Amino acid sequence: MATFVGLGITPERREIFATEAGAAVIDERGRPILASSANNDLTLDETGNLRMVYDAEAVGEHARQRLQFFKGEWFLDPRIGVPWFEQVLGFSGSRPQVSEAIVKREILQTPGVTGLSGIETTFDRLVRGIRVSNVLVETQFDETVEV
């Protein structure tokens, strides 16, 4: 029995796949994506059901979803989420270390994550934003997954 379970989310749209039955957006593995927006779509498995992820892959999905959750976004508990507006976004370029530390903390506090093998953070001074990429997390399943 799996310890962690989640829905498979596709981080990027790859291409449009059209057949007589209709058109669908597909990911890099040829799996159809449920919706047609460019990012973070639910994916379908070979049988047309929602694709489920388990254990290490589910831990990675959870870590990525936590990074996309803004503090105060959930009305039932406004304390949870990343303080993007309060401590990261909109500040001058003197905060890249603080921003990276906040991101790392959020990832490391994800249940099932045991370590962080790699992460790249790039600050864009022009728009006062941060890009988080190439995140590799170590999981309790002795597997490293990309977030």
Q: What are phi and psi of 6, to 5 degrees?
A: -155, 175
| Percent with pLDDT over 90 in the chain | 20
Per-residue confidence at 86, pLDDT binned at 50, 70, 90? Answer: confident
Q: What is the DSSP letter of 89?
A: T
Query: Domain residue spans in the chain?
Result: 5-146
Architecture (CATH level 2) of domain 5-146? Roll (3.10)
Q: What are phi and psi of 20, to 5 degrees?
A: -65, -25
Q: Say what the pTM is.
A: 0.73
Nearest CA to 107 out of 54, 50, 69 is that of 69
Q: What are the tokens at 112?
A: 């099932």
Q: Angle, to 10 degrees, between the axis of helix 55-67 and the axis of helix 96-108?
A: 140
Q: Is the pLDDT of residue 22 over 70?
A: no
